[in-house]
Amino acid sequence: MALTPDEFYAHAVAAADSEHRLPLARMTGWDISPFEQDGLRVSPLRPPVLPEPPRQGEDPADCRTCRARDEGIWFHDRWRLARIKRVGVPLVLMLYPRDHHDMADLPDELASELGVLSTHLVRHVQAVPHISRAHVYRIGDGGAHLHMWFFARPAGQAQLFGSWMPVWDDLLPEYPADVADADAEAVADALVASYGGRRSAG
């Protein structure tokens, strides 16, 4: 059985200093880290807060993602794809079920579709010129409506490998919107050809 919230906190702060600051993560020593270790320090670990605050959209009646079910660059009866704007990497796409589901309550039919659809998206993102990889993320702490992130890693940028990619995305200057729009349209067109669905009318 997992540790209780208080047990987890006590276990963690036992490894921290007097201000409840843990040592720097091993990841900060990787050559892909966007930060130099000198002068970097960890924020104090705060005690647990229970109950946790609700995520945006816990109540489907208040879910912004549900209200946006007809917004995006590609649509299927059960799915939609949108381009996230004002990012630093070449392309960030978000895949959502059109109806209100999270990962844990996704019906088996949609879960199967998610796997196949994600594979198609990765193929199409990686087919964009000068893109080496498509990183796929599902976090789920901010919003209760399932949303899958697809980040395009630019070719040759070895520092953007792996788990630091979303941090680099936040640090980089905004990628040219016209280039990202054209690449997103190419991915959406390829998805229509390989999986079906339709492009946005807008």
Task: Tell me the two tokens of residue 163.
Answer: 């788990």
Asked whether 98 and 67 are in contact (CB, 8 A), the reply is: no
What is the distance between the terminal CA atoms of the chain, rounded to a whole angstrom? 51
The CATH code belonging to domain 70-199 is 3.30.428.10
Alpha-carbon span 196 to 193, nearest angstrom: 6
Alpha-carbon span 90 to 99, nearest angstrom: 29
Residues in the chain, pLDDT under 50: none
pLDDT of residue 201: 67
**Residue-wise pLDDT tens digits, 24-42:** 999 999 999 999 999 999 9
The percentage of residues in the chain with a pLDDT greater than 70, rounded to a whole number, is: 99
Q: Cβ–Cβ contacts within 10 Å for residue 27, how many?
A: 13
pLDDT of residue 202: 58
pLDDT of residue 136: 98
This prediction has a pTM of 0.93
Domain with CATH 3.30.428.10 in the chain: 70-199
**Residue-wise pLDDT tens digits, 41-55:** 999 999 999 999 999
